[in-house]
Amino acid sequence: MITALDSSVLLDVLLEDPLHRDSSLSALLAAHAAGVLVVCPVVWSEVRAALREPDRIGEHLGAAGIRFDPFDEACADLAGDLWHVYRREGGKREHLIPDFLVGSHAKVRADRLLARDRGFFRRRFDGLTVIDPSRP
């Protein structure tokens, strides 16, 4: 089982979010027990930007058994296609290409996505299993 991770869940744990840390940590541990954990370049970048010592991101994620997984052409194509549909349907700029890249990476290269999702991933990525630790 490959679980792609969204930055929301990782940042909950790394930055010790008082509201979401415990549920996100539990979900991460369960996903790790079920298989492989991966992050795409967007998530890696977002987490790196939030760390006090950004050069240690590899240590932090590696120690947790999380590996970097790059995009491929299928991820990029899906993200572009879905963003185009989103804009054509009147989508404002609340969601930009990076959001679509995270979802596309999970859909193409993983079995599921672990993210605090307010419905975006479920609405836009038909067939993608989304695990939301903030929803028991």
Q: Is residue 34 part of a domain?
A: yes
pLDDT of 136 above 70:
no
Asked if residue 41 is part of any domain, the answer here is yes
CA distance 134 to 118: 10
What is the total count of domains within the chain?
1
For the packed helices 97-109 and 73-88, what is the interaxial angle rounded to 10 degrees? 130
Distance, in Å, from the CA atom of 26 to the CA atom of 51, rounded to the nearest integer, reads 21
pTM: 0.93
pLDDT value at residue 92: 81
Q: How far is CA 104 from the centre of its chain?
A: 10
Q: Which residues contact 19 (CB under 8 A, 6 or more apart)?
A: none
Question: Does residue 64 sit within a domain?
Answer: yes
| Phi/psi at 32 (5° precision) | -65, -40
Residue 136 lies in a domain: no
Q: Among 24-33, 37-46, 89-98, 101-110, whose mean pLDDT is lowest?
A: 89-98
Tell me if 102 is assigned to some domain: yes
Question: Has residue 4 got a pLDDT over 90?
Answer: yes
Domain-located, residue 77:
yes
Residue-number span of the structural domain to which 47 is assigned: 2-131
pLDDT tens digits along 45-54: 999 999 988 9
CATH number for the domain harbouring residue 48: 3.40.50.1010
Q: Is residue 60 within 8 Å of residue 51, measured between CB atoms?
A: yes
